Amino acid sequence: MEMGLCPAKDGIPLWREKKLKRPIMVQAPMSGVSDEAFRLMLLKYGAPDAFWTEFVSVDGLFSRGKDYCLGVLKHSNKLKPIVAQFFGSVPENFEKAAKMAKELGFDGIDINMGCPDRNIGKTGAGADLIKNPKLAVEIIRATKRGAGKIPVSVKTRIGYKKNEIKEWISVILKEKPAVLTVHFRTKEQMYAPPANWELAKEIIKIRDKISSETLIFGNGDVVSLAQAEELAKKYNLDGIMVGRALLGNPWFFYGKEPDLKERLSAIVEHAKIFNNLYNKKSWDRLKKHFHSYAKNFRGSKELRESLMKTKNVEDVKKVIVDFLSNLC
């Protein structure tokens, strides 16, 4: 049977019943980044063990913004297993969103309880749920009701302003999520280094006492596959979730360092995939990826500047061809 988050028994992935190589390596949900084109690039050059969507508002799914949200959730059957991540603060909407995710063919549902964005926090969602454990529990239970047998997981942080592992993580684990992914920073730390990976040991101890079947994934500042494997081994983690290190680096999960020709070819390939999926108005979203691909080699600054001016795939091809001819 192919590895995945589904099928499940009582909401727990069957990972523990199969001889799988640990640690499990997964792609993080990143708003405005981990769209379908991004995931297909990973599939082509270095697929993780599981994919995540960008996070989607459960409120938006049942509002005039429904079409946009459904667009974010759209995914290829090639991308398996794939987890839908939701955020919000209304339990009833989480239940409905979970039912929808089940109908859309997702293999798992993840609840965002870690986003530090102020606008998300103003609605009581994301990392602000750390201050409202009662609501967090209601949301997990509502999501499970809607999900049925599909595994429900949670992604969160170590606390709001300080380390609150003992109080906060215990609350989540008592609800027995299939997976708990912990970004080893507080909400107030945002993404400022360093991530506090040493706290993983305490979380593992709490997990073993409260919910031994829950898998614990670590997240924060992972820059290479070798480092990810080292961190998992050092702290006895079940898996590692990788985020920003994947930008401009679809080879990450293969542990490969591409040569210049491969890197330039990937820029064109990413542009083609994106062009086939989205309309022309979305083109500028692709440019953050161009910026990430074109770094740390001779002429990369000039290449970035040229790529930022492109408007379509043909422009990208021309920029790459011109760049290569100037190198000769």
| 132 exposure class (CB count in 10 Å sphere: 0-12, 13-18, 19+) | middle
CA atoms within 13 A on the CB side of 325: 6
Specify the DSSP class assigned to residue 50.
Answer: B
**Residue 18, SS3 per DSSP:** coil
Task: Please tell me the distance from the alpha carbon of residue 48 to that of residue 242, in angstroms, as a whole number.
Answer: 9
Q: Where are the alpha helices (DSSP H) in 132-284?
A: 133-147, 170-173, 200-210, 225-235, 260-277
Q: How many residues does the chain have?
A: 328
Write out the two tokens for 72.
């974010």
Write out the two tokens for 47.
């697929």
From 6, 69, 115, 328, the catalytic residue: 115
* Sequence-distant (≥ 6) Cβ neighbours of residue 82 within 8 angstroms: 39, 50, 51, 52, 53, 75, 106, 107, 108
**Residue 5, SS3 per DSSP:** coil
Q: Estimate the crossing angle of helix 36-45 against helix 260-277, to 10 degrees.
A: 140
Write out the two tokens for 152.
């429900």
Active site residue 115: yes
Instruction: Give the residue numbers marked as catalytic.
Output: 115
